[in-house]
Structure 1
């Protein structure tokens, strides 16, 4: 049964979520919060969840979920019988009604050991990897996981999700100055570039390759209308724009058809490089 949950505005500005998950994947992530129990956990039943959260969209919900797991926003695990799903930090951001907690949950809580039972490429129970042995009736209660010898349990601190996250860290940590700006019409002056990066840093919005590429499309439109990259970023700094769209430039200043051949100076914009 779906439940009402609190979704915070900051979720829509999460760079990591946006960079590594498509719009439908991000919508699925939000929807999973409404299906999870008070601990942030639920049984993974792809067909049912697809019907509940994305009934009008043609998509591979399993692949969307795998991407969310790879990027660390959900975690799959198993009790040896069912494939289960955990939303990290769910209890940090949600305050379920006391009656919901009092009613309890049939979903066993997530543990690192139980995560080893999942093959993340197919979202199936991988008994060869985990060491799980089903009972005579085909089930393996969660308590049986505690009986697995330590020598057969992979180091929980180095599970699949952690390994993939570690491998991705160099790319996510790349400095703004080292990103690829080849799609931009031209590079801005050093000081304007520094001021723009500082502006986004002050707003707690990192400069990533995705951001750079999004700016490129709008800067090209502005360039075709006669605006320079320095002018665009300078006006963005003056206005406090973390993002940028060509239309904003037109609305904030003169229409391209009315502009003279002489470009506006930074002094005209009341902006001085190096002074935010």
Structure 2
């Protein structure tokens, strides 16, 4: 008898499930609806095919082996009963409290699974969890977040400081600057903001005159979060050539002192 089960977006971003073909991933979902309240079902490939893939030419036995190999299920035998246990079942599903108890024998010594001795795979009778169970969107041991956004890559603060120090125009007080840098909760976005702001500050008159002696120490700039300052880049920062007698060629009268001929040309 098929049951209603949970599925969340994290299932589709599982990198281990992605190694399996589309039909095997679909089989895995279908197996939840065939499993009992303990996450167990009989290991009967032909019956699963008729229940889940009645019109498709698929190799259920191979697909089950693939799921077993990656740790999403465990195929086992107790006496004459061949069975399947969905790993970490209780972490992902909230079976209804009125579902019938499992009649399939528990797999002994299933290390790391929800079937460890004394561990229940369902809620206590007549009780309800505070939160819905997470979907089966994990490998054998750790949950994949619902969000499809990957976790941010770790930031190498020392390497990024070296980049900042190379850009900062006043090379004074490096040790203090490194300590100030270490206090920052650095992210890729913050680094971009700092670098962009630094480029604007470097154009300020106070930073460009007198060989940069008025540029603050890097530690001061960082501790003061000066990258948050509103800075207007000088617009009149183009070097102008001094006045020269060689200017104004277009305004000169080149016919002065000359006599115009009948053909329109000029002569002395």
Q: Which structure's residues are more often helix, by fraction?
A: 1
Whichever of the two has the greater Rg, that structure is 2
TM-score range, shorter chain: 0.3 to 0.5
Length-normalised TM-score, structure 1: 0.40
